[in-house]
């Protein structure tokens, strides 16, 4: 049975409609004070239609336009909630593009906001079987529209990221070895 457009939605319904995991919605609540679903007993969240429009706008800016979380926060401050609630519509006015990587000095992209996680080559999926995972040279389709933050980074920043990647790769290898021993 289809709900009325004015009906409240649960977090699972919103997550399904926006095609994002529930934990991403909770994360966005921690980053955007404008997201305020009603909470009932036991902490259950109920999203109003205007909450859903705001989430659609945030999703559009992060995943579709390649904005960072700070960039969307700035838009909310400068343009207001109504602007972000409507920006996801195909005929809506879009925000002016600015080089956000220079603005906030970070390589935080929509991927860090929950759009997806690049897997290491040969990494195991959640079921523990080896699958055809994207490699670092082939980002997932959701990242295609995201401008490369590497161009705005210094050599020192790129080297720090390479070091961090190496350390994370080693951590993943050790975690997989520990999981293999458990099975």
- Cα(178)–Cα(137) distance, rounded to whole angstroms? 27
pTM given for the model = 0.54
The pLDDT profile of the chain, 183 residues, written as one tens digit per residue, is 578 778 899 999 999 999 999 999 999 999 999 999 998 888 899 999 999 999 999 999 998 888 899 999 999 999 899 989 988 888 877 887 655 444 444 444 434 444 444 433 433 333 333 444 444 444 444 444 445 555 566 777 777 777 888 788 888 888 888 887 776
How many structural domains is the chain composed of? 1
For residue 165, what are the contacts with CB-CB under 8 A and spacing of at least 6?
none
- Which residue in 45, 46, 104 sits closest to 73, CA to CA? 104
Say if 2 falls within a structural domain.
no
Residue 157 counted as domain residue = no
Assigned domain for 170 exists: no
The reply to whether 34 falls in a domain is yes
**Does a structural domain hold residue 119?**
yes
Instruction: State which residues form the domain around 46.
Output: 9-152
Domain presence at residue 39:
yes
What single DSSP character describes residue 35?
A: -
Total Cβ atoms within 10 A of residue 50: 12
Residue 180 Cα distances to 12, 65, 78, 119, 121, angstroms: 32, 39, 50, 18, 17
| Coil, strand or helix at 36 | coil
In a domain, residue 176? The reply is: no
Residue 160 domain-assigned (yes or no):
no
């Amino acid at each position: 049975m289809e709900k009325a457009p004015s009906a409240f939605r649960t977090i699972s319904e919103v997550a399904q409609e926006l095609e994002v995991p529930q934990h991403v919605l909770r994360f966005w609540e921690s980053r955007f004070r404008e997201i305020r679903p009603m909470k009932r007993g036991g902490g259950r969240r109920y999203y109003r239609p205007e909450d859903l429009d705001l989430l659609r706008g945030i999703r559009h800016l992060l995943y579709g336009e390649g904005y960072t979380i700070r960039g969307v926060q700035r838009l909310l401050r400068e343009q207001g909630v109504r602007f972000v609630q409507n920006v996801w519509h195909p005929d809506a006015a879009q925000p002016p593009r600015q080089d956000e990587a220079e603005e906030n000095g970070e390589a935080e992209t929509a991927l860090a906001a929950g759009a997806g996680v690049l897997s290491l080559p040969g990494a195991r999926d959640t079921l523990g079987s080896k699958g055809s995972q994207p490699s670092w040279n082939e980002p997932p389709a959701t990242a295609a529209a995201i401008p490369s933050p590497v161009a705005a980074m210094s050599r020192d920043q790129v080297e720090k990221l390479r070091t961090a990647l190496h350390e994370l790769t080693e951590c993943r290898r050790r975690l997989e070895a520990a999981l293999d021993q458990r099975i």
